[in-house]
Amino acid sequence: MHEVTAFGAWILLVAGAVAAALFTTKVSERLSVPAAAPFLVVAAVASDLFPSLDVSTETVVRVATVALIVILFDGGLGIGWRRLRASLVPVVSLGLLGTFATAGGAALVAHWALGLDWTAAGLLGAAVAPTDPAVMFSVLGEREVAGRTGTILEGESGANDPVGIALMIGMIELATHPDASFWIVVREFALELSIGLAIGVAGGFLIGQAIRRVTLPTAGLYTLQGLAGAGIVYGVASVAHGSGFLAVFVAGLAVGDLRAPFRAELEVFQEALSSLAEIVVFGVLGLTITISALGAGTWGDGLLLAAAVALVVRPLVLAPLLAPARLRRGERAFIAWGGLKGAVPILLAAFAVDRGLEDAGRIYDLVFVVVLASVVVQGATIPLAARRLGIRMHRLSPGARRARLT
């Protein structure tokens, strides 16, 4: 009986947390911040008040990985290949070259301004370089953005996460092999992305064929079919030493344009599951932080890095990469300001902690401050920035998420 009571208490705790998270979505809507941002803060405070809620780094990596599979697949579904094709060049250039350049710029700030050695600075730069799909899809997913700016921001956030993860893995290999050169980063990066891209294309085709040709008894099974396909694509790519995240995002893009039975039900299910995954991953990440242990120096350094990346590094990186695109000055500025950070940077910092690297704890704390500043300040000011920069953007009615302008 004691076990039943204990398990019931855990059910109560989890259900209460989800209910609280749903309440925070109304708060975030009024404050115009990403839906999971209040939950990140609440979880961080709760970890201070109740130390027993602390979770391990291994748990963080696993939960965040599963959540990102769901979020990236849903993001690919929401964009679709036809919509992405019109903005493919800027999306690829920002996702690939932009991630590398942003990581390099952030590493320079971390070394010269924060005093980290070059290896730790490189790890920190790789962690904060990618934008976050959970946050971007949360901010833009319920809004209609005129022109190509919304597509570019969402496409970039889906593309640069696999790039950032591959870059981080390469940097960890560099940090753990004293005799290695930067070539190991390039090798790991190229291997992960090429294998992930190939498996994503093939997996998207096979998922599409299965959804169209395999007849199932109920609509609910079709929704599970897509989710199972995404998990298989990630697993195959990972086992093949490729980027499972890139494979899942590409597969979602391929399925996004598919005319299939119960397509509306699949989209509703994926959107709901993606929202839940976002809340869960931010909650787990918040539990890893002890706010009372963050000193004034950590807050100051983290805010300095966040400001440098948002106001200096990203605009300088994006200027030449967006030059060939036919965008107005206001659109370019909006894309620069829209580089929101989130769960992915914290996940990348968790990789460093899990490998026991030097200065990993400080890197993790700094990344948390950068993410918190990004989701609160940048996330809350996206609608204001759109108005000031002449970007037409308005909130979608319920059920109209996929009907954005292209």
**For residue range 300-312, what is the model confidence (pLDDT) as tens digits?**
999 999 999 999 9
CA dist 90 and 204 (Å) reads 23
* The pLDDT of residue 352: 87
- Counting as low any pLDDT under 50, the low residues of the chain are 1, 398-399, 401-406
CA distance 295 to 291: 9
Res 404: pLDDT: 40
Residue 403 confidence (pLDDT): 43
The pTM assigned to this predicted structure is 0.83
Alpha carbons within 13 A on the beta-carbon side of 178: 0
C-alpha angle 124/107/102, rounded to 5°? 95
Pick the CATH number of 37-395 from 1.20.1530.20, 2.60.40.2140, 3.30.390.50, 3.30.70.1450: 1.20.1530.20
Residues whose CB falls within 8 Å of the CB of residue 369, separated by 6 or more in sequence, listed in order = 294, 298, 299, 301, 302, 303, 305, 306
Which residues, listed in sequence order, are joined to residue 393 by a DSSP beta bridge? Answer: 145
Can you give the pLDDT at residue 367? 92
Tens of pLDDT, residue by residue over 224-264, are 777 888 999 999 999 998 889 899 999 988 887 777 666 66
